[in-house]
Amino acid sequence: MGGLVFEHLGQIDMVNLSFMGGTHEVGRNAILLESNQKKLLMDYGVQIGDKPNFPGHVRAKDLDGIVITHAHLDHSGGVPMFYLSEPKPFFATSTTTEIMRVLLRDMIKLSGYYLPFEYIEYDIMMRNRNDLAYGQKVKMGDIEFSLSNAGHIQGSAMVDVETGGKRVLYTGDLNTSNTRLTHSAKVPRKRYDAVVIESTYANTDHEDRKKIEESFVAAIKEVLRNDGKVLVPAFAVGRSQEMLYVMKSHKINARIIVDGMAKAVNQISRDNPDSIKTPNAFIKAINGVREVRGWRDRRTALKKADIVVAPSGMLQGGTAMHYMEKLALDERNAVFLVSFQVPGTGGAKLLESGNFTIKDVEQEVKAKVQHFDFSSHSGKTQLRAFLRGIKGKPDVYVVHGESENCVGLAEWCRDELDLNATAPHEGDSFKV
Ligand SMILES: [Zn+2]
Ligand SMILES: [Zn+2]
């Protein structure tokens, strides 16, 4: 017993959480966890606007490792920055790393001029990958961590860290309800001392998934009956695959094509079937869809298609812009938005005004426009149920949401669960 005491003389167990970004906002998540011996960075995202916006500065040489919850750029887009000098290992599911390959290359291609890194750093990063299966433990000095399914997109994970006798859970982006694509996230059974949770929809409940699917499918069938064509602008990762799967599951009898980065992500999903809930049926569904290959093919693709699934989901660039040009001005057609539309994007403006800029001219869209609330994030009720289900008396840190969502969920934790809860600001540090 005496030995134990001596070992700890002069060093008090320390677990510190610092919030470097993604506080009071959706975008550029970054959380630094420090123990007595080690520093682990959880996510390092980017917010893509006119210029890329990164989280607060973290020195690469101070880090021992980086763990990434999922491939979306608001969680992974800044990671190559840590490969300018001293390469550090990064940890993620293999699906996440493969999808990062697609998204990061595209980002470097599109905004390379504004980025502090180039392909070379991205290459070095890829050489430092460590693929983790869910539940696989990593020991790094006095820190032990593992990943578990977060239900958000293919390969998405929560991070469970144990150090200094304390246990911390970081949810990343979380979905506890069922989707066609991935298994839903479950409340981990362990006791936690701290939980960092997202709050994208902390103040809103989603409509029942089955009902959304049914109305989406009915709307498509209606358009097809009247000889129209349907454009489904969708995020390349997750939503595109899910929409293809939904249409196939409902046996929509139509010629479906898919374009843009969604094709590469389809292939990653085929290669990593573990990341999909029902891989065989899923692969069969996406194999029945025609992929558009290059510009020559794209020009004629619509002649032999009834439905197009193409990114970007918010009609900000991507191959969906080409199909908008072709389909938007005919009243028989339809544009069905299936992703959240950030204010100011082409999709949000279309929903508000019914107009869209085609060939630099703002035009009135004749095609039917409708929004379907498919979401890959837990809604209000699910987030609360998740927190209620956590054992122990964890301190709760609410991030990744508009300010009122972060603040609202923290307040609910204090009032209803009697927990210490806060919506941290960028740069805030807390001792667990
Ligand atoms: Zn995400
Ligand atoms: Zn996110």
- In the reported structure, the alpha carbon of residue 394 is separated from the centroid of ligand 2 by a whole-number distance in angstroms of 22
- In the reported structure, the alpha carbon of residue 377 is separated from the centroid of ligand 2 by a whole-number distance in angstroms of 9
- In the reported structure, the alpha carbon of residue 142 is separated from the centroid of ligand 2 by a whole-number distance in angstroms of 28
One domain, residues 236 and 179? no
One domain, residues 359 and 386? no
- In the reported structure, the alpha carbon of residue 70 is separated from the centroid of ligand 1 by a whole-number distance in angstroms of 7
What was the pLDDT predicted at 342? 83
27-46: per-residue pLDDT in tens? 899 999 999 999 999 999 99
Three-class SS string for 30-49? EEEEECCCCEEEEEECCEEC
- In the reported structure, the alpha carbon of residue 145 is separated from the centroid of ligand 1 by a whole-number distance in angstroms of 21
- In the reported structure, the alpha carbon of residue 159 is separated from the centroid of ligand 2 by a whole-number distance in angstroms of 14
Q: How far apart are alpha carbons 126 and 401 in whole angstroms?
A: 30
- In the reported structure, the alpha carbon of residue 399 is separated from the centroid of ligand 2 by a whole-number distance in angstroms of 10
What was the pLDDT predicted at 1? 39
Ligand nearest to the CA of 45: 2
- In the reported structure, the alpha carbon of residue 104 is separated from the centroid of ligand 2 by a whole-number distance in angstroms of 15
- In the reported structure, the alpha carbon of residue 305 is separated from the centroid of ligand 2 by a whole-number distance in angstroms of 33
What was the pLDDT predicted at 12? 65
- In the reported structure, the alpha carbon of residue 56 is separated from the centroid of ligand 1 by a whole-number distance in angstroms of 20
One domain, residues 324 and 380? no
Last residue of one domain, picked from the residues 371, 393, 409: 371
User: Digits of tens for pLDDT over the chain (432 positions)?
Assistant: 334 444 444 456 789 999 999 999 998 999 999 999 999 999 999 998 778 999 999 999 999 999 999 999 999 999 999 999 888 999 999 999 999 999 999 999 988 788 999 999 999 999 999 999 999 999 999 999 999 999 999 999 999 999 989 999 999 999 999 899 999 999 999 999 999 999 999 999 999 999 999 999 999 999 999 999 999 999 999 999 999 999 999 999 999 999 999 999 999 999 999 889 999 999 999 999 999 999 999 999 999 999 999 999 999 989 999 999 999 999 999 999 998 888 889 999 999 999 999 989 999 999 999 999 999 999 999 999 999 999 999 999 999 999 999 999 999 999 999 999 999 999 999 999
Q: Specify if 3 maps to a domain.
A: no
- In the reported structure, the alpha carbon of residue 150 is separated from the centroid of ligand 1 by a whole-number distance in angstroms of 10
- In the reported structure, the alpha carbon of residue 400 is separated from the centroid of ligand 2 by a whole-number distance in angstroms of 7
One domain, residues 97 and 177? yes
- In the reported structure, the alpha carbon of residue 47 is separated from the centroid of ligand 1 by a whole-number distance in angstroms of 12
Ligand nearest to the CA of 238: 1
Q: Specify if 284 maps to a domain.
A: yes
- In the reported structure, the alpha carbon of residue 246 is separated from the centroid of ligand 2 by a whole-number distance in angstroms of 23
Q: How far apart are alpha carbons 223 and 205 in whole angstroms?
A: 28
One domain, residues 311 and 423? no
Ligand nearest to the CA of 99: 1
- In the reported structure, the alpha carbon of residue 6 is separated from the centroid of ligand 1 by a whole-number distance in angstroms of 45
Number of domains into which the chain is organized: 2
What is the CATH number for 264? 3.40.50.10890
Cα pseudo-dihedral 76, 183, 175, 135, rounded to 10: -60
Which range marks the domain in which residue 300 is found? 209-371
Ligand nearest to the CA of 156: 1
What is the CATH number for 426? 3.60.15.10
Q: Specify if 265 maps to a domain.
A: yes
Instruction: For residue 265, give the H/E element and its range.
Output: helix 262-271
Q: Specify if 8 maps to a domain.
A: no
What was the pLDDT predicted at 61? 92
Q: Which residues surround ligand 2, an ion (CB under 5 A)?
A: 74, 173
| pTM score over 0.75 | yes
Of 107, 66, 72, 110, nearest in space to 88 by CA: 66
Last residue of one domain, picked from the residues 324, 347, 371: 371
- In the reported structure, the alpha carbon of residue 299 is separated from the centroid of ligand 1 by a whole-number distance in angstroms of 32
One domain, residues 352 and 217? yes
Whether a cis peptide bond, with omega within 30° of 0, leads into 85 is no
Q: Specify if 137 maps to a domain.
A: yes
- In the reported structure, the alpha carbon of residue 13 is separated from the centroid of ligand 1 by a whole-number distance in angstroms of 33
CB atoms within 10 A of CB 394: 25
Last residue of one domain, picked from the residues 371, 386, 408: 371
Q: How far apart are alpha carbons 192 and 161 in whole angstroms?
A: 10
Q: Specify if 196 maps to a domain.
A: yes
- In the reported structure, the alpha carbon of residue 395 is separated from the centroid of ligand 1 by a whole-number distance in angstroms of 23
Of 400, 356, 410, 388, nearest in space to 26 by CA: 400
One domain, residues 135 and 237? no
**Which residue(s) pair with 178 in the sheet?**
none
Q: Specify if 215 maps to a domain.
A: yes
**Which residue(s) pair with 368 in the sheet?**
334
What was the pLDDT predicted at 361? 94
Q: How far apart are alpha carbons 76 and 428 in whole angstroms?
A: 21
One domain, residues 266 and 170? no
One domain, residues 403 and 336? no
One domain, residues 148 and 285? no
- In the reported structure, the alpha carbon of residue 314 is separated from the centroid of ligand 1 by a whole-number distance in angstroms of 15
- In the reported structure, the alpha carbon of residue 354 is separated from the centroid of ligand 1 by a whole-number distance in angstroms of 28
Q: How far apart are alpha carbons 151 and 181 in whole angstroms?
A: 9
Q: Specify if 6 maps to a domain.
A: no
- In the reported structure, the alpha carbon of residue 385 is separated from the centroid of ligand 2 by a whole-number distance in angstroms of 20
One domain, residues 262 and 117? no
Of 11, 8, 66, nearest in space to 39 by CA: 66
- In the reported structure, the alpha carbon of residue 313 is separated from the centroid of ligand 1 by a whole-number distance in angstroms of 13
- In the reported structure, the alpha carbon of residue 226 is separated from the centroid of ligand 1 by a whole-number distance in angstroms of 36
One domain, residues 361 and 410? no
Ligand nearest to the CA of 75: 2
